[in-house]
Structure 1
Amino acid sequence: MKHPVRRWLIGIAAVLLLGTGALVWLASTRLPSDEEVAARISEAFEKRFGVGLKIGGAHWTLWPSPVLVLSEVATDQPRPITLRRITLQLKLRKLLHRIVAIDEAEIESLVLPRESVRAFRGKGPKPKEGGDIVALSAPWALAPIPLEKMRWRDLVWIDRRDIALAYDGDIDFDAHWRPRQARIERAGASPPARLRLDREAGRDRWRTRIDVGGGTWSGVTLLENLPNDMLRVSAELEPRQVDIEGLVQAFGRRTAVAGKVSGQTTLVSEAGEVGALMRNLRTHTTFSVRPAMLTRLDLAKAVSTAGISRGGTTPLDELTGILDTQGTEDGIVMRYTELKARSGMLTASGNLRLFNRKLDGEMAVDLVDGVVGMPLKIGGTMSDPEVSLTGGALAGAAVGTAVLPGVGTAIGARVGQQMERLFGADEPAKKKAPPQPQKSPGVSR
């Protein structure tokens, strides 16, 4: 699942921040009107975050139980964060003892554009603070579990590519904002894409199950408090028979590889601020896909033409490798290493870097007919990948073909590539076929 930690943390912040108004009017000496409640919430929000807040409607009641409802809420930003409706149900008995406790919070249609959410960076709770976002003046205090349960429907995250993804879910909390149980689901995804967390006996350890792409990606997640007010989240997960196309389509993406993946994943993130955990997330996955299909590349064609090749498919008996990911300010960098592909017609090995949908890598391909180790450069984008020889490798391939067909082509290409690395920069191969070899006496074909 993408961004599971971010989703529930942002949801918690929204509930507590908008609930500030409830704390204000409860502490006052008279019961304010709905308009006054809305005005006080907006004022408190702007004071806390430096961003204005517009509230279309507010309504509250004390009997038979305290309830606060806000509707048509929007931040004052070029592309606002919007909220159709939030309902907070508070515990009357706790309020009578001047203790604030929210029994349930329900969020409907919260839209979170990435560029707008970034305005709140550095303003979230620190781990040492236990997640408290509101400060109460005496004699008021927060309950040990300020929020018992939170539910949301149609929470939409809009990423930097303007892809909008909706999520439904619910969380039951223990003390210190530890989820006792949590469920997050991609709304409308088929097959289902959902995350389930179950806390183990009050420990900072959660059984983790992800259902996605018709398979599972399950294991254990840990939370640790580190020195210097740092927080660490880590997980050990095992993908099992996850359909790659189903996985990426559930999150509005496309892939150039088809098949079912299994393997082992570790993830870790450390940060001094809760909101930075997702930005600092790193993952390491060893994987195998049996069988597999490259849906936009024909490696055999690329080798046989010794030139730029786009399109086509490559069926594989097996594809294995290691995937490392690292979050950055501009997206996630994905590095594939120790890639090995095998089929009845070829074997290949290489490395690949993917960032902002741009491909950059190298691969050596062996064909069954005797071409060994043909070096190829991988470029283009995820939607339009291409393989080619660099200029030096292309020239070497032409010489190798002239001297000795077949194996000579690959050997010449490798020599040309290494010479290019030593004496010149890698330049993309021009889109033209290599020169035709001349027949030489004594050289059989």
Structure 2
Amino acid sequence: MKRPLQRPLRHWLIGIAAAVLLGLGALAWVVSTRLPTDDEVAAKIAEAFEKRFGVALKVGGAHWTLLPVPVLVLSDIATDQPRPITLRRVTLRLDPAPLLQRVIAVDEIEVEGLVLPRASVRAFRGKGPRPQEGGGGGIVALPAPWTLAPVPVEQLRWRDVTWIDRRDIALAYDGEIRFDPGWRPRQARLERAGLEPPAQPVRLRLDRQAGQDRWRTRIDAGGGTWNGVFRLETQPDGKLQLSADLEPRQIDIESLAQAFGRGTSVAGKFSGTTTLSAEAASTDELGALIRSLRTRTTFSVQPATLTRLDVAKAVTTVGISRGGTTSLEELSGTLETQGTEDGVVMQYSNLKARSGVLTASGNLKLFNRKLDGEIAVDLVDGVVGVPLKIGGTASDPELSLTGAALTGAAIGSAVLPGVGTAIGARLGQQVEKLLGGDKPKKPAPKPVPKARPQPRP
């Protein structure tokens, strides 16, 4: 199963940060100086950006007006990087009334065509905005006596914001968010854009509950739902904790994977429960909060199909087995995920599968598309168990007898062909364990030299 929350949430926050930094910095300068030309606005934004981030910025065009409301439009923006971050267009609309009190409040920011290559975004880690309580301090430096409104940005919209991941897979998102004070989302929507059938829509919606740091969460994915509640807590020591309880219901695995440009070796619809947790040292480390994200999903797929493996074939043949399919009445287990600098680690545990032909149990790790795990397959209602090694990649998985079982399988086939192979494989594994085969072997003791006979006097 894929995890549809972690990466979309991170992309959403990055898009917000980029738009707010560009927009508020530009508007603060516009309203605190003489009326500048469009070229002067573009030059000032590029200068301020490079000073803040240490990366040069090209602004292809800038246009602003004061009537009927102040509006700033920037176009064809690109960072000076080997693979630049690009922005086709960003529009900022200012609320004119607070300007009389030298307060800046943005009615709306609209972002169109933002492209975020992962490697380029990483260059800004630790340099981005740091939202704080009480009006958004730390977002942008304003010239005195200008200040930000309690809600600096009322609404942010984005369309065709594309994240390019470490495997060069580009995923586009549309969405919008309305803010309460303290940069808390009042309502939010995030949606995978440009999906083609048979992929089902993937959409996240958040609604804040009675001004608390709790959000009703509704997720449409794979033709099913993944609903629940998100919570955000600030501890007395300043530590920020994010948690969620969600309930996936009848989510089609293949459709969900396709929506995020991935493949899967399992077909079927799953239901279960999901818990999510993350933490950071303070509210100033929002990026660290996202990177620490962990999820745990207990799932059941009824019925299920292994679309790239034939387990029965692997059991009855000695050697590596690839391809084929396996129909299952049920596949269940627990999936835990943890983000790292090099990708997401997916750990499957307590896997159990059953069909009219076999039952199986085991564990599996998936990291950087590589599979590593073991399963025990029972052919006769738990009486005959065959230990199999899972290897290969997510797109080309393979099954083979474990090294411990190969000798036993050969012995079993000599005694009783067919079932004898399975029995022998199981016996081979158990005998190895009894003999300490799973532990490091101790070096053999060195032979004690025999005493040499003494010469006669």
- TM normalised by structure 2 equals 0.89
Q: Which residue of 2 aligns with 1:361?
A: 373
1:221 to 230, 242, 252: 230
Cα distance in 1 between the residues matched to 2:269 and 2:194: 22
- Whether 1:74 and 2:78 are equivalent positions in the alignment is yes
- Whether 1:136 and 2:142 are equivalent positions in the alignment is yes
Please give the residue correspondences for 1:75-114 in structure 2 after superposition, counting only pairs within 5 Å.
Answer: 75-114=79-118
Asked if the contact 2:316/2:421 (under 8 Å) is kept, the reply is no
Asked if the contact 1:210/1:217 (under 8 Å) is kept, the reply is yes
User: Any idea what SS the aligned residue of 2:123 has?
Assistant: helix
- Whether 1:22 and 2:27 are equivalent positions in the alignment is yes
- Whether 1:195 and 2:204 are equivalent positions in the alignment is yes
Residues 186 and 11 of structure 1: is their aligned pair in 2 closer, same or farther, counting only changes over 3 Å?
same
Report deviation, 1:411: 3.8
Q: Which residue of 1 aligns with 2:286?
A: 274
Asked if the contact 1:339/1:349 (under 8 Å) is kept, the reply is yes
Cα distance in 2 between the residues matched to 1:289 and 1:95: 57
**1:136 partner amino acid:** L
User: Any idea what SS the aligned residue of 2:290 has?
Assistant: coil
Asked if the contact 1:261/1:288 (under 8 Å) is kept, the reply is yes
Cα distance in 2 between the residues matched to 1:111 and 1:418: 55
- TM normalised by structure 1 equals 0.92
Please give the residue correspondences for 1:21-420 in structure 2 after superposition, counting only pairs within 5 Å.
Answer: 21-28=26-33, 30-126=34-130, 128=132, 130=136, 132-189=138-195, 190-272=199-281, 273-368=285-380, 372-417=384-429
Which stretches in structure 2 are left out of the alignment for 5+ residues?
A: 441-457
Q: 1:83-118, CA deviations, whole angstroms, 9 ceiling, x for partnerless residues?
A: 000000001111121101100010110000000000
Residues 138 and 297 of structure 1: is their aligned pair in 2 closer, same or farther, counting only changes over 3 Å?
same
1:5 to 6, 9, 32: 9
**2:265 partner amino acid:** A
User: Any idea what SS the aligned residue of 1:136 has?
Assistant: coil
Residues 369 and 142 of structure 1: is their aligned pair in 2 closer, same or farther, counting only changes over 3 Å?
closer
Cα distance in 1 between the residues matched to 2:391 and 2:403: 14
Asked if the contact 1:346/1:366 (under 8 Å) is kept, the reply is yes
Asked if the contact 1:131/1:176 (under 8 Å) is kept, the reply is no
Report deviation, 1:5: 2.4
Q: 1:257-299, CA deviations, whole angstroms, 9 ceiling, x for partnerless residues?
A: 0000000000011123112222111000100000000000000
Cα distance in 2 between the residues matched to 1:207 and 1:160: 31
Report deviation, 1:400: 2.1
Residues 144 and 366 of structure 1: is their aligned pair in 2 closer, same or farther, counting only changes over 3 Å?
same
Report deviation, 1:186: 0.5
Q: Which residue of 2 aligns with 1:429?
A: none
User: Any idea what SS the aligned residue of 1:192 has?
Assistant: coil
Cα distance in 2 between the residues matched to 1:340 and 1:131: 51
Residues 126 and 152 of structure 1: is their aligned pair in 2 closer, same or farther, counting only changes over 3 Å?
closer
Cα distance in 1 between the residues matched to 2:226 and 2:386: 36
User: Any idea what SS the aligned residue of 2:267 has?
Assistant: strand
Cα distance in 1 between the residues matched to 2:321 and 2:202: 35
Which stretches in structure 1 are left out of the alignment for 5+ residues?
A: 427-445
Cα distance in 1 between the residues matched to 2:71 and 2:421: 77
Cα distance in 1 between the residues matched to 2:387 and 2:438: 17
Residues 4 and 132 of structure 1: is their aligned pair in 2 closer, same or farther, counting only changes over 3 Å?
farther
Q: Which residue of 1 aligns with 2:444?
A: none
Report deviation, 1:123: 1.6
* Count of aligned pairs: 425
Report deviation, 1:305: 0.7
Residues 86 and 420 of structure 1: is their aligned pair in 2 closer, same or farther, counting only changes over 3 Å?
farther
**1:324 partner amino acid:** E
Residues 409 and 395 of structure 1: is their aligned pair in 2 closer, same or farther, counting only changes over 3 Å?
same
**1:88 partner amino acid:** L
User: Any idea what SS the aligned residue of 1:324 has?
Assistant: strand
Q: Which residue of 2 aligns with 1:432?
A: none
User: Any idea what SS the aligned residue of 2:55 has?
Assistant: coil
Structural RMSD (CA): 1.8
**2:211 partner amino acid:** G
Asked if the contact 1:371/1:406 (under 8 Å) is kept, the reply is no
Asked if the contact 2:130/2:139 (under 8 Å) is kept, the reply is no
Q: Which moved further from structure 2: 127-136 or 346-355? A: 127-136
**1:288 partner amino acid:** S
Report deviation, 1:406: 4.9
Residues 322 and 370 of structure 1: is their aligned pair in 2 closer, same or farther, counting only changes over 3 Å?
closer
Asked if the contact 2:347/2:365 (under 8 Å) is kept, the reply is yes
Report deviation, 1:401: 2.2
